[in-house]
Amino acid sequence: MPDQPTKPARRRFVLCMGQHCNQGKQAEPLYERMSQELGDPGPAFMSRKPITWEIANCLSMCELGPNLVVYPEGTAYHDLDVAALERILHEYLHPEGQKDEQPG
């Protein structure tokens, strides 16, 4: 049987909004930024978007929070602030070799 072309894996971001990660409301600005960039959170199986995101009540990394995990790789990002989240979003939304659109 010939090799079938594989579909690129869909990305899923999971932002922890649990008690420890959101202590002092430090995860709320991250939630707002994710909403601005990716729309409302929701389960990946209900979306056709290449990148989806959802919130979790705990990712079991409380002492390292706020936390974000990117699937399918399972890459975890810890001690996030908005600046770090911006870099992460840019990395996944504009992969190397893909030019940002320039106004014209």
- Tens-digit pLDDT profile for residues 1-38: 556 655 556 889 999 999 999 999 999 999 999 999 99
Domains of the chain from N-terminus onward: 11-93 (3.40.30.10)
- Tens-digit pLDDT profile for residues 29-81: 999 999 999 988 877 666 777 888 999 999 999 999 999 999 999 999 999 99
Reading the block at residue 9, the tokens are: 């894996």
State how far the alpha carbon of 20 is from the alpha carbons of 24, 62, 99, 100, in Å: 9, 6, 38, 36
Provide the total of helices (H) and of strands (E) in the chain, helices listed first.
2, 4
CB neighbours of 50 closer than 8 A, spacing ≥ 6? 8, 10, 11
| Mean per-residue pLDDT of the chain | 84
